[in-house]
Amino acid sequence: QSALTQPPSASGSPGQSVTISCTGTSSDIGTYNSVSWYQQHPGKVPKLMISEVSKRPSGVPDRFSGSKSGNTASLTVSGLQPEDEADYYCSSYAGNNNLVFGGGTKLTVL
């Protein structure tokens, strides 16, 4: 059982927006602005899409955005494209030099 809770699946049609949630506790997401999001295509290595809740690394399309409210972080993908179909994982700093991940969400582009 992962420390952060994500819905197992999410879906949307091309061009639509979809939001994936990541729920933690006051010991991780609720205290630290250190949430990251990763995209992983089948058989591939995870790719950093969002860091520090809402920062996009260079090269990540601005269709990807992140936010946080209380103990829940969210990843929004706007203008869905077929190549966005992948697994998405959140992570958060959890204090005491420890890091926790979510269980992952499979995003399907219909």
Write out the residues near another protein by the rule CB under 8 A.
2, 32, 34, 36, 38, 45-48, 50-52, 57, 89, 91, 93, 97-104
Please state the closest distance from residue 18 (CB atom) to another protein, in A. Answer: 21
CB closer to another protein out of 99 and 110: 99
CB closer to another protein out of 18 and 35: 35
Please state the closest distance from residue 102 (CB atom) to another protein, in A. Answer: 8
Integer Cα distance of 74 and 82 in angstroms: 20
Are 62 and 11 spatial neighbours (Cβ–Cβ below 8 Å)?
A: no
Please state the closest distance from residue 27 (CB atom) to another protein, in A. Answer: 13
Integer Cα distance of 110 and 107 in angstroms: 9
Are 35 and 50 spatial neighbours (Cβ–Cβ below 8 Å)?
A: yes
Integer Cα distance of 64 and 56 in angstroms: 8
CB closer to another protein out of 15 and 95: 95
